């Protein structure tokens, strides 16, 4: 099988394309046995209470999250 040859500019472009962090537009929240997608523009703030993290929406809803604040910080743009 012949080897694939890439020029340096093509290789750098490929590395940059795959190294780009993915941006998200929603967070996944478990609500009982359901999964709810919350759009980032609907979130007003996050609340940390001991080892629990809550997401608050513009509609006044409050959701318990499975993620820590550190994990959320890494996920969010």
Q: What per-residue confidence (pLDDT) applies to 55?
A: 95
Q: How far apart are CA 4 and CA 35, in angstroms?
A: 43
Locate the DSSP E strands across the chain: 26-31, 34-39, 43-49, 52-57, 62-65
Interacting residues of 37 by C-beta distance below 8 A, sequence separation 6+: 26, 27, 28, 29
How much is the pLDDT for 20?
67
Q: What is the pLDDT of residue 5?
A: 79
Domain residue extents for the chain: 23-75
What is the architecture, at CATH level 2, of domain 23-75?
Beta Barrel (2.40)
pLDDT digit of tens for each residue in the chain (77 aa)? 667 777 888 888 878 877 766 678 999 999 999 999 999 999 999 999 988 999 999 999 999 999 999 999 888 87
């Amino acid at each position: 099988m012949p080897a694939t040859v890439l020029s340096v500019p093509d290789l750098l472009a490929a590395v940059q394309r795959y190294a780009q962090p993915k941006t998200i537009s929603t967070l996944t929240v478990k609500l009982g046995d359901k999964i709810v997608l919350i759009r980032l523009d609907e979130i007003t703030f996050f609340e940390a209470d001991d080892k629990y993290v809550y997401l608050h929406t513009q509609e006044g809803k409050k959701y318990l999250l499975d993620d820590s604040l550190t994990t959320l910080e890494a996920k969010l743009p």
